A and B are shown apart, each in its own frame.
Chain A
Amino acid sequence: MTEALIRVEDLAKEYRMGSTVVPALCGVSLDIAAGDFVAVMGPSGSGKSTFMNLLGCLDHPSAGRYWLGGQEVSQLSSDELAQVRNRKIGFVFQHFNLLARTSALDNVALPLLYRGMPTLDRKQHAEQRLAQVGLAERIDHHPAQLSGGQQQRVAIARALANDPQLVLADEPTGALDSHTSVEIMALLQQLNREGITIVLVTHENDVAHFAKRIISFRDGKVVEDNANVANDAASLLQ
């Protein structure tokens, strides 16, 4: 078996609300292979968002271990986690989280800025990424001048800026109409075919069925984990 990109063992997270301790994630163990396309599903409160935050190195687990690309990241400091996020992970959010009044190009170049890349390289790199998501013509547009689908494309280009191994998409189609959703899923599938591992959180079955594997959470545990014959989003568009 090839080395898994993501390996978690007994990963747990609990939150303290005053004196009571609320368990959000209770001992999850799983592997995600490099090049996989995983959909994480579950009702709200099921622990799927907590799981995503831990995968994204945005939060420290209460217990358990987590290896990302062979490196154990569960014990890293906040600054080290920032570096891991910068180099290995790309994020796509439901509400895009683009900087307003900032051009598409500068939005995409943001992770490169924190990496310390020189200005010219940054521009070139960001232009390539925008071209990759089909927005080569719109590099100078501000988010307000773009449609929802275009904004999400900019956000995806930003997630790709640092050539990450993993893209985490948190309800990427949640704020989009169904046609645009399919377009975005087609783009993610294309990126996946190019070798990027994608983990997607969604509560829509339609969206989840574009993935190769569907993991369902309930009460902080994995209740289902099945391979899926993925629908091809690109063919749906024709």
Chain B
Amino acid sequence: MNFAATIKIALLALRVNKMRSALTMLGIIIGVAAVIIMIAVGNGAQARVEEQIKSLGSNIILVLNGSTTSSGARGGYGSQPTITEDDAYAMNKEVAEIHAAAPSLRGSGQVVMGNTNWSTTLYGTTPEYLSVREWPIVEGRGFEQAEINGASKVALIGQTVAINLFGESNPVDQVVRVNKVPLTVIGVLGRKGQNMMGQDQDDILLMPISTARKRVLGSSRYSAGRNVGSIMVKIRDGANMEEAETHMRELMRQRHRLQQGQDDDFYVRNLSEILSAQEASSKVITLLLAAVASVSLLVGGIGIMNIMLVSVTERTREIGLRMAVGARGKDILTQFLVEAVTLSLIGGAIGILLGIGGAMAVAEIAGWRTELSSASIVLAAGFAGAVGIFFGYYPAKKASRLLPIEALRYE
């Protein structure tokens, strides 16, 4: 008795009972589809977080001003202007792990273009800022070093600003007035979307840091020296973040002439860490969703066992007859096992299709982001097969142990 014949017998038996086979499969279909949809939803959430990391720029460390204590009242971050443009330039030069460090001055102001105007965030910074944030320019060009040195009246604008001031027309080479200072728009930044706090990152205007200091944000307290609001640092790919942070810290302490034992007069904040914590939590959610969905797969498996047990009882006479005409115990065992596995595999295949369709439907209807992964599909299919074998074995074993005379006499 060969294996091909066993499979043929099993398929025949399944075809004879189409309705019952379909109902049995339903459990597996739902289970597999649920696993695939849940993992797709979880992966979608994860991809969203990853995208946010990307929009911030990866491997980012932020250096902020320190806090002051006056009369026992402690100020917050940045209450004491301590970090300077030159700290950023020194870091660029001296810390090997640093890809780029960009100092920035931040303020806000009204941008006027002809008869429209728009209030936005203003940044005075250096060309490094764009490479730190991995921010492409979609129209025009970026800053040149000469423009930084010479406090040129030029600006780069974000998508939101561009749309609000210029609509469909090309902003490049147009002149806008920011706090009464005319700046020529030399380029438009690509779209970044929202950051993880929901702020619109495209609502921004960049200008050379010298321009900001001397002409635009003149009234701010930073205008006097070379102080800056923050320094954004991008660490080279593959470099150790912790070591980079230590080296930066050492350099800063040295530059600020801090004695041993004295507190830092600046703060170093690793943004990637915050995001990777978020990423980890979204991974946990994915796992949780998959685990819940797996339970339904398990229930589907129990359904298979249930039906197979009923089927063995119901077909006792058939089993007896098969034995009478020459089937051995293991032929019966294989037949029922193949039936169970076939049910679960066909159910698994339908479940995969349904899961893919379902994930698309969830994306369409609920507007959630879903991401199908081939790993989850393989996993679900493998699990479905395993469920078939696991839950099919007991009923099959039971069938194979029947005694032919008793099985034949069974009413």
Q: List chain A residues, Cβ under 8 A from B329.
A: 78-79, 82
Known: A58-B405, A100-B16. A113 touches B328 (CB 8 A): no
CA gap between A113 and B331 in the complex, in Å: 11
CB distance from A127 to the nearest CB of B (A): 18
Bitwise, B65-107 to A at CB < 8 A (1) or not (0) is: 0000000000000000000000000000000000000000000
Q: If the complex has contacts A86-B325, A102-B12, are A114 and B317 also in contact, measured as CB distance less than 8 A?
A: no
CB contact between B408 and one of A93, A99, A100, A111 (< 8 Å): that residue? A93
Classify the secondary structure of A's interface with B. helix
Range, interface on chain B: 20 to 34
Contacts of A101 in B (CB 8 A): 16
Instruction: Flag if B326 contacts A82 (CB, 8 Å).
Output: yes
A125 located at the interface, meaning its Cβ lies under 8 Å from any Cβ of chain B in the complex: no
- Considering the chains assembled together, what is the distance between the CA atoms of A101 and B18 in angstroms? 11
Q: List 22 A-B contacts (CB under 8 A).
A: A58-B323, A58-B408, A79-B330, A82-B323, A82-B326, A82-B329, A82-B331, A83-B328, A91-B324, A93-B408, A99-B321, A102-B12, A102-B16, A106-B12, A110-B321, A113-B9, A114-B325, A114-B326, A115-B1, A116-B1, A116-B2, A116-B5
Contact A114 B322 (CB under 8 A): yes
Q: With A53-B405, A58-B408, A99-B321 in contact, is A111–B328 under 8 Å at CB?
A: no
Binary flags per residue of A98-128, CB closer than 8 Å to B gives 1, else 0: 0111100010001101111000000000000
CB <8 Å contact, B405 and A59: yes
State the Cβ distance, B195 to closest chain A Cβ, in Å.
64
> Do residues A97 and B317 form an inter-chain contact, with CB atoms below 8 A?
yes
| A114 CA to B331 CA, complexed, in Å | 8
Asked if A85 contacts B405 (CB within 8 A), the reply is no
Query: Chain B interface mostly helix, strand, loop or mixed?
Result: helix
**Complex: how many Å from CA A58 to CA B319?**
13
Interface residues of B in 357-411 (CB under 8 A from A): 403-405, 408
Q: Which of A48-105 contact B (CB under 8 A)?
A: 53, 56, 58-59, 78-79, 82-83, 85-87, 91, 93, 97, 99-102
The answer to whether A114 and B16 touch across the interface, beta carbons within 8 angstroms, is no
Give CA–CA (A58, B320) in the complex, Å. 10
B51 sits at the interface (CB 8 A): no
**Which residues in B have their C-beta under 8 angstroms from that of A85?**
323-326
When chains A and B are docked, how far (Å) is the Cα of A158 from the Cα of B403? 21
Answer whether residue B264 sits at the interface, using C-beta atoms and an 8 A cutoff.
Answer: no
Assess whether B321 is in contact with A82, with CB atoms less than 8 Å apart.
no
Residues of A within 8 A of B328 (CB): 78-79, 82-83
Whole-angstrom distance between the Cβ of B315 and the nearest chain A Cβ: 9
Instruction: Give chain A residues whose Cβ lies under 8 Å from the Cβ of B408.
Output: 58, 93, 97
Cα–Cα distance between A42 and B197 once the two chains are bound (Å): 92
Decide yes or no whether B275 CB sits under 8 A from chain A. no
Interface membership of B298, Cβ < 8 A:
no
* Residue B318 is within 8 A (CB to CB) of chain A in the complex: yes
